[in-house]
Amino acid sequence: MHESIKFLKQQLETLKLSGVDYISKNTSSLRHHEESQRDDVVISETEIASVPPKSADGSADGFVADASLPRNDNVTYSKTFGPKKELLSLRETAFLCKKCEELAAKRTTVVFGAGNARAKLMFVGEAPGHDEDLQGLPFVGKAGQLLTKIIESINLSRNEVFICNVLKCRPPGNRNPNPDEIINCEPYLKKQIEIINPDVICALGTFAAQVLLKTGQSISSLRGKFHDLNGVPLMCTFHPAYLLRNPEEKRKVWEDTKMIRSKLQELSSSQTNPVGTNTPFKWGLTP
């Protein structure tokens, strides 16, 4: 019963994020949770559904089991509920979200994010583009392929990191996100970071860097050093799409990536101060 109350509280919290102010007395969602207690980790890039998951049993909802990266066992999320289930619940809420009227009307699907629910490294980009909107996955296409190479250059795979965007819906014509859309969607990103609790975050491009750091500084001045994001080291670097247009800047991204690799190694070898593991990430849950 205690877990059910906790789950109900979680559901109400995430529904509130999407602007829901009324719910019926239907308790199917609660029963659904009680029937599924598995704690799988990876939101599969290849199997992720482009519609809200119909089952949370780990077999038919686009989530696959991968407990290869057990970590963060002493942070804010409960062990019984688990980060994957929290992400799944948040994703269901995002799929129903219509806080941005224009984006909700014109999107093909919500691009929630994909990767490991216990990732040590989290990438945050700007917003879904045309391909991402069609496939429901972040960073596909040529820019996504380049990001994959960047990830693999530090001996990680896309299933070992988590990739998402500031905005979960595509701005029509790939226009820049509006300030009110950023405000609307930011709670989802904050909640994702809180659930995953990464050791390091990498902001890809000017937009993500400025939103996360609440600054108007250029990406050129922000990159090349770690910033503190509520206790989590944040590296800013150029967006892969920018690199495709300006390949001469790849060296700078490689330098930033090497710094991320060193930081991850430093944190994983530390027994006394593993930032992002013993220090719970605190954003505050409401906008």
Under 8 Å between Cβ of 123 and 204: yes
Minimum distance of ligand SF4 from residue 117's CB (angstroms):
19
- For residue 256, give both structure tokens: 């930033």
Minimum distance of ligand SF4 from residue 126's CB (angstroms):
12
Minimum distance of ligand SF4 from residue 207's CB (angstroms):
13
Minimum distance of ligand SF4 from residue 171's CB (angstroms):
8
Cα–Cα distance between 122 and 196 in angstroms, integer?
Answer: 8
CA distances (Å), origin 242, targets 128, 136, 186, 225:
15, 22, 23, 19
Closest CA to 198 of 260, 135, 107: 260
Cβ closest to ligand SF4, residue 50 vs residue 279:
50
Under 8 Å between Cβ of 58 and 40: yes
Cβ closest to ligand SF4, residue 62 vs residue 274:
62
| Centroid of chain to Cα 102 | 23
Minimum distance of ligand SF4 from residue 185's CB (angstroms):
3
Cβ closest to ligand SF4, residue 184 vs residue 206:
184
DSSP letter assigned to residue 45: T
- For residue 43, give both structure tokens: 């939101």
Cβ closest to ligand SF4, residue 45 vs residue 181:
181
Cβ closest to ligand SF4, residue 151 vs residue 185:
185
Residues that bind ligand SF4 (CB under 6 A): 94, 97-100, 103-104, 110, 167-169, 181, 184-185, 188
Cα–Cα distance between 146 and 133 in angstroms, integer?
Answer: 18
Minimum distance of ligand SF4 from residue 17's CB (angstroms):
8
Q: 90: part of which helix (H) or strand (E)?
A: helix 83-95
Cα–Cα distance between 258 and 260 in angstroms, integer?
Answer: 5
Cα–Cα distance between 97 and 75 in angstroms, integer?
Answer: 28
Minimum distance of ligand SF4 from residue 111's CB (angstroms):
9
Length of the chain in terms of residues written: 287
Cβ closest to ligand SF4, residue 75 vs residue 196:
196
Cβ closest to ligand SF4, residue 171 vs residue 276:
171
